[in-house]
Amino acid sequence: MFRYFITTIALFIPFILFSQNIVKPNIDKYKKDTLILVSKNPEKGFYNDYLLYIPKGMKKHNKSILLVEPNNTGKLSDSIEFHQKSAINQAKGNSIGNNISTELKIPLLVPIFSRPASKPLVYTHALDRDVMLEKETELQRLDLQLINMIKDSKEKLKILNIPVDDKVFMNGFSASASFTNRFSLMHPEMLKAIAIGGFNGALIFPMKKLTNTKLNYPLGINDIEKISKTKFNKEAFQKIPQYIYMGELDDNDAVQFDDAYNLTERKIINSLMGETVQKRWKFGQEIYRKENLNVTFTTYKDVGHWTTSTMNINTILFFQKHLN
């Protein structure tokens, strides 16, 4: 028998299961939004908890696609409860990911990665270079931990009679856009489609050099094999349908801060890619087009570093086109 317990966490989400094992509900269609908190499982390769959201109206037995949205607390804290609360809010309604999941009736996975104040340069929620070099178990190789969470969530969805595609959708905004962007270069074969908006730095480029300057991770792929222990699969990366968007007033610039980029990275970005977010946005589009990537770019007028209903709708429509 499966062992579990249930507790109410919000009026909008009637229950949450705290368990590694999931009870199979005797229903054909979910009548209420359901949020499952899955405990960390070192034996399966993930050292942090994650959330699995199943929207109201989602049917069992029909093949679906798992949507992944990295968590982004926006603040430093050594309290995992702080990051958990933020991730729960993200999963149950305060995110584009939840909107996509709710409208398309597909499951959503949100990891609960910490962003510790005791290690301010380790920008976990953006998957920066410090994260990829981190040795502490809970913070080590968050990209691989997320992959193992995806594998585990597929097993749990199978128990719930929710079969999902081998590949996943991935979405992010701001820091989680950077996480998604960087993850997509290291693990393109896992992705069916991705959408990112308001990336608060610079896009990672699928190239080793720019005007004879080496582009190490997270600027490019010069040392990506050393960093990720995987060979860059350019063909797979070129095939991923991508929707990348930015507000024309967005000036949220992580490049100028040490937690997001080191001094060497900052100098390369400012000198070769542009000193402002908007200059980098235009330059990044040029590079991605030259590299023949399957990308749709959109700039939203009168919008800064925030999302709008139009952005949400367009992102939903983008993923809807790739459901089959």
**Would you give the DSSP letter of residue 43?**
G
Q: Is 40 a member of any domain?
A: no
Q: Is 43 a member of any domain?
A: no
Position 219, amino acid: L
Q: Is 84 a member of any domain?
A: yes
Q: Is 39 a member of any domain?
A: no
Q: Given this model, what pLDDT does residue 284 score? A: 98
Q: Dihedral of CA 281/125/233/104: which sign?
A: negative
Q: Given this model, what pLDDT does residue 14 score? A: 45
Q: Given this model, what pLDDT does residue 58 score? A: 93
Q: Is 289 a member of any domain?
A: yes
Q: Name the one residue in this structure whose structure tokens are 């896009």.
A: 203
Q: Given this model, what pLDDT does residue 166 score? A: 97
Strand-pair category, 16-18 with 34-38: parallel
Instruction: Say whether 199 sits in a helix, a strand or coil.
Output: coil
CATH of the domain at 273: 3.40.50.1820
Domain count, the chain: 1
Instruction: Give the C-alpha separation, 48 to 245, whole Å.
Output: 30
Q: Name the one residue in this structure whose structure tokens are 């990295």.
A: 70
CA contacts within 13 A on the Cβ side of 16: 20
Instruction: Give the C-alpha separation, 124 to 1, whole Å.
Output: 37
Q: Is the Cβ–Cβ distance between 309 and 317 less than 8 Å?
A: no
Q: Is 200 a member of any domain?
A: yes
Q: Is the Cβ–Cβ distance between 287 and 274 less than 8 Å?
A: no
Domain extent at residue 93: 63-320
Q: Is 38 a member of any domain?
A: no
Ranges under pLDDT 70 in the chain:
1-27
Q: Is 255 a member of any domain?
A: yes
**Assigned token pair, 17:** 């299961």
